[in-house]
Structure 1
Amino acid sequence: SSAFAAAAAEKLKALKQEEESARRAATQLSQQRDKLTEKRKSLWRDEQKETEKLHAAQDDLGKAQRTLQHSMSRSQWEAVQAVKRIAREKGIRGVEGMLIELFEVDDKFFTAVEVAASNQLFQVVVDTDETAAVLLRELQRANAGRVTFMPLNRLRPGPDPAYPQSDDVIPIISRLKFAEHLRPAFVQVFRKSLVVRNLEVGSRFSKSHDLDCITLEGDQVNRKGALSGGYVDLRRSRLRAQTEIAKLGEMCVAAEASIAKLRREIEQVDDEVTRVMGELKKQEAAQHRAAVAAEQERLELPTSTARSEHAVGAQKDKTQAALRAAAEADRQRIKTLEQELATDFSEDLTAEESAQLDQLQTEKRDLQKQLSAAQRESNKARQLQATLETELRENWQRRQKELQERLEELSEQDSANVHDSADEALAAVQSELRQKVTQLEEAARRADELRMQERTLQATIDELKSQLSNFRQQQADKAKELDRLLSRRAMLQQKQAEFADCIRKLGALPRDAFGDSRKDMGSKQLMAEIDHCHKELQKLGHVNKKALDQFANFNEQRERLLERQAELDEAEESIRALIDHLDTKKDEALERTFKGVAKHFAEVFRELVPGGTGKLVMKTDGTRAPESAANSAAARIATYSGISIKVQFVGGADTYTMQQLSGGQKTMVALCLIFAIQRCDPAPFYLFDEIDANLDAAHRASLAKMIARQASEMDESGEERPATQFVTTTFRPELIHSGDKFYGVTHRGKASTIRTIDKAEALRIITEDQSRLRQHAA
């Protein structure tokens, strides 16, 4: 049996070692799994960051694309996008892209480059005209709009002009960075453009070198001398938007590549985690199998002999239950006593009481130590009892049962041999069982002794509790007295605060108010003096105690209002000065305008009425301006009451006013005034309806010459001036001779028609109309 037990023990040990080996392998795999999981989480976080970065870049890219889209027409944008889509879908090579996409330039030149190239920035550069033709056919087939192409093989921009050698100018093309094979396209667009320091420099070089000159702010002087420019919103810059598109596009590509790389790493980590999890499950399964086998092997070990006698078992259970109940009761009593002893005692005890309390606490600690020792002995006895019971139940009883089963299974031939060995084994088991029972009885006896000792300690504890109750009663009495004293102290402190507040409300007090004259007074004398003070204060009840604070507040408000008044006065002076300045400018403009119109009126009247004179006269109300203001425009204008016209025609010595003129003369004067105003402030377009109807032939001829001169782009001195268009209707031939374009209006069948005619036909129509009028008059 011992050999069998040793073999079983060796097998159990081997199974335990196998279980431990599987457990260690599972632990290592778990650690590896955790590391891989953390790595995967880190990769997930990196992927999330890159995804957020990609989304932000895509949003900014969309904004930049919308900015670029809004800088051109919708049809042009759709056509350019259609070209890119067709080239991508059809695999058409040789499409370089829009001109704006093919170069780089310093951002300080953005405005100048945009002004120089204008909408040419959106022209599409291709390698050959054949590629352009293919794209045009596809655009027409898709009805996707129109695009201007720049085929590189057809561009012949010519030689570069002779750029001026000056620090004030820079050729734009010298600041552009582009691929060398694209040079013809950029030379075609930018070779005639310069960046200049200012418009003065630009005007000089545009005339001398026949170049378009542009400032960094976008103001331009073209080769013909025309000026253009104004405010440029940099937020809507096309080049800035294209630069952002290129940069954000690269960021999106980089972010997508990073995300793809992270996802591949995540997939690899996922595969590794899956592999480790599979290995971990295998090791856990091996550990479980080894544990189950070890447990089965342990259960199959030889069991002990039959349970001891019923009386001993009953006594053992009863003793164990009693020991547990007693130990639990002891623990509860000890816990209660410890809580009571943890309460602080009052310090207001006599010396004798304090000594007695110290003695009782010392005895209590000694008894607690004895109780703890007894409890430890009791616990040891209970542990020994439990160990013996377990060994009896798990080993010897099962062993006895196995031996009995083996005895029953033995054949008659072996029964004699086995019977002796079984008797010996049974005797050994019974001997060991008797030893265990003896140990159990000894433990029960020790438990009884501990219970007796516990009762003695409990009696001592009860006595200490009684003494503790007495001390607590004394402590409660002392606490009540202390509460009463604290309440009185709080009340006195409150009164002290009230009196201090009253003193503060009184304001400044005399020096002797806090003297030492009242330190020797008793409480009754002080109370009497307080009553006297109250009576005196009641007489002063109508005094404004807040007067000083109010004075300070009002004084601060006054200072603020004075500062505000000074600010308003200063603002008023500034506004009045501005009003005076604007009035002066207005009066000067009025006088300047009147003088200009009067000057041109006299000139036009001499042209239309040769030998005659005409002038505009400013009428006054008869009042005289003060001497101090006689030279100011405002003083003079204050006396003006209106404008009169005085004219003198050929052959007369008298000067006439408007009321004295005939209808034709009034018409002539009105035309002179209109042309005078036109010379001061030219308008691009005039429409006259039969203005020569009341004029004689000489005046009509003068009027026709005047209109012809006004419509010319060159003045009398040979300088250019803004062109003016005159549209007139007439039934006289004089205006026909000076006209450039003629239209005839006919009326037939209750419908009017207009058509373009030449000068000869116009003169014929006028002649026929005059003939009809003469016949009708005859």
Structure 2
Amino acid sequence: MRGPAALLPAVRRLLRGIVVVGTLEDAEDLVRARPDLTAVTAEGDLLGAHFAQGGSAGAPSLLEVQASVDEAAAELEELAARCEELAGAQAAAAERRTECAALVEELGERRRAADREKSAVAQQLGRLAGQARGAAGEAERADAAAARAQEALEQALADVEELAERLAVAEESAPFGEGGAEEPDTSVRDRLAADGANARQTEMEARLQVRTHEERVKGLAGRADSLDRAARAEREARARAEQRRARLRHEAEVAAAVASGARQLLAHVEVSLARADEERAAAEAAKAHREQELARARAEGRDLKAELDKLTDSVHRGEVLGAEKRLRIEQLETRALEELGVEPAGLVAEYGPQQPVPPSPPAEGEQLPEDPDHPRNRPRPFVRAEQEKRLKAAERAYQQLGKVNPLALEEFAALEERHQFLSEQLEDLRKTRADLLQVVKEVDERVEQVFTEAYRDTAREFEGVFSRLFPGGEGRLVLTDPDNMLTTGVDVEARPPGKKVKRLSLLSGGERSLTAVALLVSIFKARPSPFYVMDEVEAALDDTNLQRLIRIMQELQEVSQLIVITHQKRTMEVADALYGVSMQGDGVSKVISQRLR
């Protein structure tokens, strides 16, 4: 084997006991002779004393598995094509079956129509036969009537001839002339004339009756002919219906035969489909088995590839590590020459691992033993791990020291001066803070004193003013936090006469307004001001409460000036001066003033 020197030991160790031979027979002979060796052939067969891999005894190769998969895929495609063909045949048979069923249904419908038509023809034939029988009877009756009329006519003719003969004999026996015999009796003549007229009338009626009967006989004869023709047409239609019925029966038999054949063909198709489904299932099972074998082969291929990649990476890492070591050695040699001026051979000879390591200097605060034979004071043999640990500790200490700063003294002096200045500023800030806290304390004490006095005066005045505005009522101011006068709030409790409520939200609008006015007046009296401005404070008050408020305003008017905006006339009556704004007809506003006192 040839290869990188760094990898050859590992490769030799991996391939120890493996011999390459030409054929499998040579491998068997070698293993039989040397059971401790493993033989591998050029085809990839691996043979040992207790195992054999490759060839017929091992798993199929990737090419064999791929060929099997391709064969299974081709077989599956063939079966799929056959299934498609059988599916097409099944679809055609189903379509043929549908057509035959439609044909059978159509023939049945035609047969039922022919039966209905036959029934209608039979009914019409029966009706025509009845009509023919009626016409024949009527014709016989007409013939009898015609015979009787003919006899009556002949009798009438005979009577006429007899009367004519009698009339002629009468005329010959008694002629009229000059000097003749006596004239015949007129009554006899009249009777004979009447008889002749009657005979002629009878002859005329007999002739009319004969003509009428002849016309009826002709009409009956024509009707009989038409009925005969209709009967012949019905018989011909019945014969055609029989022929069509026979043809439909034949077509129905043919359709039944076709349907039977279609059912047999469908049965064959179903059997073929079942066989195709079984073959397809078998093909799919074979495909699944081949896919499992292919998956196993691919997994083995991936494992082998991963192992090969691992070996290749190991080789590459070995090569890279060797190159790094060589580069490191070259750098160390160059550094030794540049920084120490010592040749690598001399450096190794003087400080190599064969030389003992001198004792380490004591650490800060550490004392060495005084005995020179103590192990701490004697050189020690070179141990690479210990020396690497000492090197790392020295490098960490060196990095902690950092680089030498030549301006460290100047920077220290500047920082010290800065520290002294900031210390003085901090002391000034502390003193200022103490002064400010003292000022705040004094301000709080003064605010607390002023607020306490103002609250007490306002609370005292509020009780008096509230009792004046609400005679019989009670009102007072209550602190929410009496222990802390700087953050406390003030609650107003008001109980008008006749009510038990104290909350302002439960009072009416006028009572709330009057309570607010009482609080304002209390503040005004506790801490008077030169003037006050009020904006419609009495708008929601009735006359009684308004009068009470006006009296309080008059008291305030004695020590202060009140500016009141109001619409109440009674408030205007107690004022010293009135000021109003009016608009003239031209739309321009104008201020009007009026002094009352």
Q: TM-score, normalised by structure 2?
A: 0.28
Which structure's relative contact order is higher, taking Cα pairs within 8 Å and 6+ residues apart? 2
Rg bigger for which structure?
A: 2
